[in-house]
Amino acid sequence: MLPWATIGRLLAAVAGVWVLARTWQLWMLLLTALILAAAMLPAARWGDRHRVPRLVTVAGVYLGAALVVAVLGRFLVPAFVEQGTQFAGQLPALVENAKGWAAQLIAWGARWEIPLPAVPAGGEGLAGLGKILLENTLRATAGVIGAVVGFFLIIVLAAYLVIDAEHLGRALAALLPPAHRERAAALAAPVLAVMGGYVRGQLVVSLCVGGVIAAGLALLGVPYSLLIGGIAATLNVVPFLGSPAAAVLGILSAFNISGSLALWTALLFWGANLLEAKLLVPYFVGRATGLHPVAVLLGILGGVQLAGLVGALVAIPLLAGAWEVLRQLWVEPLGRGEGPAVRQK
Question: What pLDDT does 224 receive?
Answer: 84
CA distances to 48, 152, 157, 169, 207 from 192, rounded to whole Å, are: 17, 22, 16, 12, 23
What's the rounded Cα separation, in Å, for the pair 344 and 178?
Answer: 10
99 confidence band (pLDDT: 50, 70, 90) = low
Top-confidence residue, 275 or 307: 275
pLDDT at 264: 92
Q: What is the pLDDT of residues 60-92, one digit of tens each?
A: 999 998 888 787 777 677 777 777 777 777 767
Q: What whole-number percentage of the chain has pLDDT above 70? A: 74
Establish how many alpha carbons lie within 13 A of residue 292's alpha carbon, considering only the half-sphere containing its beta carbon: 3
pLDDT at 219 over 90: yes
* Cα–Cα nearest to 287, from 327, 335, 241: 327
How many other C-beta atoms lie within 10 A of the C-beta of residue 11?
Answer: 10
Q: Which long-range contacts (CB under 8 A, 24 or more apart) does 212-221 make?
A: 212/272, 212/275, 213/243, 213/246, 213/250, 213/268, 213/269, 213/272, 216/268, 216/271, 216/272, 217/250, 217/265, 217/268, 220/254, 220/261, 220/264, 220/265, 220/268, 221/257, 221/261
Work out the pLDDT band at 16, boundaries 50, 70, 90: confident
Residues 261-287 have a mean pLDDT of 83
Assign 3-class secondary structure to the chain: CCCHHHHHHHHHHHHHHHHHHHCHHHHHHHHHHHHHHHHHHHHHHHHHHCCCCHHHHHHHHHHHHHHHHHHHHHHHHHHHHHHHHHHHHHHHHHHHHHHHHHHHHHHHHHCCCCCCCCCCCCCHHHHHHHHHHHHHHHHHHCHHHHHHHHHHHHHHHHHHHHHCHHHHHHHHHHCCCHHHHHHHHHHHHHHHHHHHHHHHHHHHHHHHHHHHHHHHHHHHCCCCHHHHHHHHHHHCCCCCCHHHHHHHHHHHHHHCCCHHHHHHHHHHHHHHHHHHHHHHHHHHHCCCCCCCHHHHHHHHHHHHHHHHHHHHHHHHHHHHHHHHHHHHHHHHHHHCCCCCCCCCC
User: At residue 275, what is the residue type?
Assistant: L
> Structural domain boundaries of the chain?
25-335
Average pLDDT across the chain, whole number: 76
Would you place residue 343 in the very low, low, confident or very high pLDDT band (cuts 50, 70, 90)?
very low
- Mean pLDDT lowest among 153-157, 291-295, 309-313: 291-295
* Exposure on the CB side of residue 43, measured as CA atoms within 13 A: 20
pLDDT classification of 176: cutoffs 50, 70, 90: confident
Give the Cβ contact number of residue 146 at 10 Å.
Answer: 16
pLDDT at 117: 47
Nearest Cα neighbor of 166 from 154, 156, 178, 174 is 174
Percent of the chain with pLDDT over 90: 8
Q: Is the pTM of this model over 0.85?
A: no
**Is 90 exceeded by the pLDDT of residue 249?**
no
In the predicted model, is pLDDT for residue 230 greater than 60? Answer: yes
Q: What is the mean pLDDT of residues 131-153?
A: 66
Residue 56 has pLDDT above 90, yes or no: yes
Q: 116 pLDDT band (50/70/90 cuts)?
A: very low
